């Protein structure tokens, strides 16, 4: 048993474990001579004599490859539940937009995180243009509670990106539902193996599957999962209206990638926590954040609601020059945006200009490399940056 990995809550008789779920989720019933995971279905239309009934009529509405993937993701989001519906999208932002724009109308108020994904402010502008009041508050300290009164929807992002603050999902859900508000949780950083928002009471679990869910940096995809069939139908209708559909090849690649989700996530989470422990002792590193560290401000809440603590670390170096030289010196880490992939990546997040972070702030996504190799590379790059820049 690896002490760095939070052990999944799985005991005999409680149903399959995470690895079994990931490998088997969404597969069709076996048919002799047919593949276990059918290939992508490329179809703009389907044979449809007579009345237009049945699941597959036109390619913008449904596709068998989406169906397999949606069932697979639903299984991971809420194991053992038959009533959860999942809708897949062409990107994470398409999934986010679908929830917000299908559930809110002119005159409604929405609460969004002030420290969330940097594309959210683009949605602020669009929501206000539609006559929707936008309120914001930070993730940490459950601060969104302070602006929740009278809102129609609460949007939670926990852990937050890139600051890695955590809020108490159960507490926020209880308060929101008491006031008649829906709750959506952006679960991108955690994945369903790290946290299951629907089990914690949320109405929607949303993610950019571009990140950890698919994990190879080669697919743009997103999804929305919820228990309420009427809400799911509204989200699905929005997908049809705007045409934010995934390609069948992307959906098939995503489903194939899910089979290794537990293997990838466990390796990445374990290495991330090990690296965070090393960085905590390094004199050049300040502002270190990782919810798995016992000394992290968010650890107590994270330990109550997260099953794994994620593969992302954030920290600060002295200034922009030191951060950029550190990134240049890394040999096993790509200087790239995004996170959750099998190849480690890092970036100076301030280069985008949309996050309230210091010039030397680094978001580091831990991949599946050998932990010893990755940690040695990071320490060498830190030393080289100090010598080069001072």
* Residues 292-338 pLDDT 10s: 999 999 999 999 999 999 999 999 999 999 999 999 999 999 999 99
> Among this protein's residues, is 211 annotated catalytic?
yes
pLDDT of 10 higher than 50? no
- Whether 245 contacts 220, CB under 8 Å: no
CA atoms within 13 Å, Cβ hemisphere of 338 = 24
- Catalytic residue (choose from 186, 209, 296, 355): 186
- Catalytic residue (choose from 165, 196, 209, 211): 211
pLDDT of 138 higher than 50? yes
- Catalytic residue (choose from 18, 115, 117, 168): 117
Neighbouring-strand partners of residue 185: 156, 205
> Among this protein's residues, is 117 annotated catalytic?
yes
Q: What is the mean pLDDT of the chain?
A: 95
The string of pLDDT tens digits covering residues 154-192 is 999 999 999 999 999 999 999 999 999 999 999 999 999
pTM for the model: 0.94
> Among this protein's residues, is 240 annotated catalytic?
no
- Whether 370 contacts 268, CB under 8 Å: no
Mean pLDDT for 105-126 is 95
pLDDT of 8 higher than 70? no
CA nearest to 206, candidates 229, 189, 230, 193: 189
Confidence label for 54 from pLDDT (cuts 50, 70 and 90): confident
- Residue-wise DSSP of 164-219: -----HHHHHHHHHHTT-EEEEE-TTT-TTT--TTTTT-SEEEEETTTTTT-SS--
Confidence label for 6 from pLDDT (cuts 50, 70 and 90): very low
pLDDT of 366 higher than 90? yes
pLDDT at res. 13: 52
Mean pLDDT for 80-102 is 97
- Catalytic residue (choose from 60, 170, 351, 386): 60
Of 7-16, 79-88, 223-232, 273-282, the range with the lowest mean pLDDT is 7-16
Confidence label for 350 from pLDDT (cuts 50, 70 and 90): confident
> Among this protein's residues, is 58 annotated catalytic?
no
pLDDT at res. 14: 73
Confidence label for 356 from pLDDT (cuts 50, 70 and 90): confident
pLDDT at res. 15: 85
């Amino acid at each position: 048993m690896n002490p760095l990995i939070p052990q999944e809550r799985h005991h005999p008789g409680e149903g399959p474990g995470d690895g079994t779920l990931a490998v088997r989720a969404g597969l069709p019933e076996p048919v002799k001579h047919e593949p276990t995971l059918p290939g992508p279905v490329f179809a703009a239309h389907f044979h449809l004599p007579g009345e237009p009934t049945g699941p597959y009529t036109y390619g913008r509405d449904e596709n068998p490859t989406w169906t397999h993937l949606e069932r697979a993701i639903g299984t991971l989001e809420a194991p053992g539940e038959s009533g959860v519906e999942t809708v897949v999208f062409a990107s994470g932002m398409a999934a986010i937009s679908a929830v917000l724009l299908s559930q809110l109308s002119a005159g409604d108020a929405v609460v969004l995180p002030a420290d969330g994904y940097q594309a959210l402010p683009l949605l602020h502008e669009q929501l206000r243009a539609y006559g929707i009041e936008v309120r914001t508050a930070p993730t940490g300290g459950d601060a969104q509670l302070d602006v929740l009164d009278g809102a129609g929807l609460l949007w939670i992002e926990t852990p937050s990106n890139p600051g890695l603050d955590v809020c108490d999902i159960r507490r926020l859900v209880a308060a929101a539902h008491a006031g008649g508000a829906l709750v959506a949780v952006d679960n991108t950083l955690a994945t369903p193996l790290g946290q299951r928002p629907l089990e914690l009471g949320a109405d929607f679990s949303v993610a950019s599957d571009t990140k950890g869910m698919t994990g190879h940096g080669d697919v743009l995809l997103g999804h929305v999962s919820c228990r309420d069939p009427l809400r799911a139908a509204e989200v699905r209708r929005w997908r049809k209206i705007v045409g934010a559909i995934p390609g069948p090849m992307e959906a098939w690649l995503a489903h194939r990638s899910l089979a290794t989700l537990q293997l990838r996530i466990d390796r990445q989470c374990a290495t991330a926590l090990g690296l965070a422990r090393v960085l905590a002792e390094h004199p050049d590193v300040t502002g270190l954040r990782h919810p798995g560290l016992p000394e992290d401000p968010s650890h107590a809440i994270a330990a109550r609601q997260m099953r794994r603590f994620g593969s992302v670390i954030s920290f600060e170096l002295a200034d922009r020059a030191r951060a950029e030289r550190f990134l240049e010196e890394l040999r096993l880490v790509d200087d790239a945006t995004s996170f959750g992939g099998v190849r480690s990546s890092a970036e100076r997040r301030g280069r985008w200009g949309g996050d309230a972070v210091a010039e030397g702030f680094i978001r580091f996504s831990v991949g599946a490399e050998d932990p010893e190799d990755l940690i040695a590379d990071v320490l060498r790059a830190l030393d080289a940056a100090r010598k080069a820049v001072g």
